[in-house]
Chains A and B, each alone.
Chain A
Amino acid sequence: MIRKLVLYLDDHLGAAPFLRQALRKAFPDHWSFMLGELAAYCFIFLVLTGTYLTFFFQPSDAPVQYHGPIASLAGRWMTESYKSALDMSFDNKFALVMRQAHHWAADVFVAAICLHMGRIFFTGAYRKPRELNWYIGITLLMLAMAEGFTGYSLPGDNLSGAGLRIAVGIGQSIPVIGTWIIYLFFHDTFPSGFVSSRLYPLHILFLPMAIAALVTVHVMILWHQKHTQFPGHKQTEHNVVGSPLFPIYAVKSLALMFATFGVLFLMGGLLEINPVWEYGPYTPWVLSSPAQPDWYIGWLEGALRLAPRWAVRLGAHSIGAPFWPGIFMPLCLFVVLYAWPSIEYAFTRDKSDHQLLEFPWQNPGRVAFGVWVVFFVAILLGAGSDDVQAYLWHTPVQSIVWAYRAGVVVLPLLAAAFAYRICLELQARHGEDKPHRVLLRRSPEGGFEEERIATP
């Protein structure tokens, strides 16, 4: 059968030379190289479970009265979207598994992207000639965040409705065109009756298409440029050493896919997430504490809670305070991430191609910046649930906010300095371990001098 398949492909596509190379393509053996694959499998899982969910979800803001099995919501008016989210969760137990697995998969998807990006960043894999894939990767991260946000906003529960309205407020703070953007996007004042109509096509059509297209380009570029690799005995700038794609790497990758799907289904079945029936339908005048978004939006929520009250007045106009933490700060962060290869080039002036990765300690400056970003975002994420911490620690939330404000300025800098120092330390240590020759020189007086010569 395999013989027939190969011959068929060669008859119709002349595929033999390609397959000859592809089946033996070298994939470096390091676990961190599978993080990107993990993200890809999450995406496939999201498309499959998401397609299933569209069979049951009714994207409509039309008000309907609830007469279902949830006693606490009996007689309540709600959108058709919210009712269909409830119905699929209660009438069809498997749809609830799929809904929860879909939600978990989104959280894992963005996490996998971030970890993958961390691997790429800290080992310098984005260096020439791989800058294009770095830009595509950051775009994918932003698309994944948007996809997640439009997704968990769809059911029309009170928590996501409040989250959407926060996004509306942030949008309105954009100078000059903010209110127009929001009124054109939602058709009118939020919630306008057009919320589902505007979010649904983005979530199930435009954003996933964009992600799929960019993932395809991402992988094609990877295939063409081949993998980077850590330096080793055989690994050089002129080769790629690893397991062949077929059979061993294909089996490993397939195992990762099954493991991803398995864990996500287990989470979907056993770990409750986003119990929309507990929040009630979106009611713009009701909300209680605590209220948190998903983690990949949580750092922005934290920024909104910590940001100082910087409202800029320009004559009769103003830039509202939410603009700085909600738009300006993330914009700066992503611009710097996009520009990072160029920023590094400005320091190194290094135009050569790099196939060998650096160990993080070999580049303390890069590590310091990366650690700064990780700490900055992580502390903002922590601040995004300061109300829960206030409750748990019986501390006034005001004190916690001030602690976070100090923390978000000081701790990332401290951590970056510390990481820089550790890298230098490691460099010194590894320097000693390097194989070296010793030159002994005898002085005219009869003494000996020792000189270390690094081997090339």
Chain B
Amino acid sequence: MIEKRRRRAEVIAAFWFVVAIGASGVFAASFAAFPNTEALGASLGVAFAAISAALITMSRDLLPHEEVEDPQHPQHSAEDQRESVVRLAEGGMTTIVSRRTWLVRLGVAAATALGIAVLFPLRTFGHSPKGRVGLTNWKKGRRLVKEDGTLVRTDDIPHGGVVTAFPEGFVGPDHLEDMGVDAIVVLHVKTIELQLPKDRASWAPRGYIAYSKICTHLECPLGLYRAQSQELMCPCHQSTFNVLDGGHVVFGPAVRNLPMLPLEIASDGTLQAAGYMSNYVGSDNWDYGATWRRPRERRSG
């Protein structure tokens, strides 16, 4: 009976080994004949899995199922042994430390000095965030261009339309970093629907209104515009901003309102900035999360 079962297991294990050989062959052949992802991955996977199946069969039915027992002791050693090691360690330490207090202190001072000194190379890892973080290249008179550098004209944006724009001269593959903070959405809304604060009454001429496209929560681009409710929504964490009242947070985890860019329309119908961005762009940080003051500067360096 047991012998019969062993015979059976041998046949099964042999079968799986043959499958593995076959699958390996298919894998090698598919490299030459039909190199597609599915065939390559499946044949290689089957080869490995078949060897596994053979080994499982062997371990179940062909190998002796013995039981062994190892002794288990508490980790701690005999009391006298522990104490002798404690004495050794303490004694060794004492020979270093005792009677040379001034030398030890000097040693600690040297190690501290070295520790501080090796922090200095850290500074070379990158630029200071001062004068950069949260600031954009927008300033009065800078014209709006699209991703490809063409000027943004009022006729480009119908009512309910939306365009992503950048400051002229800061677009292209070499300006990815600038474009990531400068990006704005320009919307065209009905003037009578606007509820802007008094000091921003002139910021949206003829209903052309611009906001930073960078969410004030965690800097995802505000890719979703709901024309019905006139809201900009972030696809990352669903922060939602009202575009009619100056970018107030309507929903979601964002705290600061969306920075707004004052616009003006040039005589040739192109749009340009009428000033700086109304607030720092991007996520809150230690320095400007709490401040609502208007940045009177643009990016440096």
Contacts and interface: CB of A to CB of B under 8 A. Distances in A.
Interface of A: 24-26, 63, 65, 77, 93-94, 96-97, 100-101, 129, 162, 165-166, 168-170, 172-180, 182-194, 225-226, 234, 237-244, 247-248, 251-252, 254-259, 261-270, 282, 284-291, 301, 304-305, 307-309, 311, 313-322, 325, 353, 355, 386-387, 397-398, 401
B123 interface: yes
Contacts of A256: 52
A93 B71 contact: no
B300 to A, nearest CB: 12
A248 B65 contact: yes
Contacts of B158: none
B212 to A, nearest CB: 10
B219 A168 contact: yes
Interface in B84-109: none
Contact of B128 (A25, A183, A353): A183
Contact of A172 (B69, B73, B224, B285): B285
Contacts of B38: 269-270
A175 B133 contact: no
Contacts of A240: 69-72
Most buried by B among A77, A165, A264, A401: A165
Interface in B245-291: 249, 251-256, 282-291
B180 A285 contact: yes
Contact of A187 (B36, B46, B125): B125
Interface residues of B, number: 85
B44 interface: yes
Contacts of A238: 71-73
B176 interface: yes
A88 B255 CA distance: 42
A355 B125 CA distance: 49
A397 B59 CA distance: 52
Given A63-B173, A241-B67, 18 more contacts: A26-B70, A63-B174, A63-B176, A101-B41, A162-B236, A166-B219, A168-B219, A169-B283, A226-B70, A237-B72, A238-B73, A269-B38, A269-B45, A284-B180, A291-B235, A315-B290, A319-B286, A320-B283
B217 A287 contact: no
B220 A165 contact: yes
Most chain A Cβ neighbours within 10 Å, of B183, B284, B291 = B284
Contact of B129 (A179, A307, A320): A179
B253 to A, nearest CB: 6
Given A304-B253, A305-B253, A322-B218, A166 B236 contact: yes
Interface string B107-127: 000000000000000110111
Contacts of B50: 262
Closest 3 CB pairs of A and B: A269-B41, A320-B284, A262-B49
A190 B44 CA distance: 40
B235 A266 contact: no
30 contacts: A166-B218, A169-B217, A169-B219, A174-B286, A183-B126, A188-B126, A188-B177, A190-B177, A237-B72, A238-B72, A239-B71, A243-B68, A248-B66, A252-B59, A255-B59, A258-B48, A262-B52, A266-B41, A266-B42, A267-B41, A270-B45, A282-B176, A286-B164, A287-B223, A304-B237, A304-B253, A320-B284, A321-B217, A321-B253, A401-B238
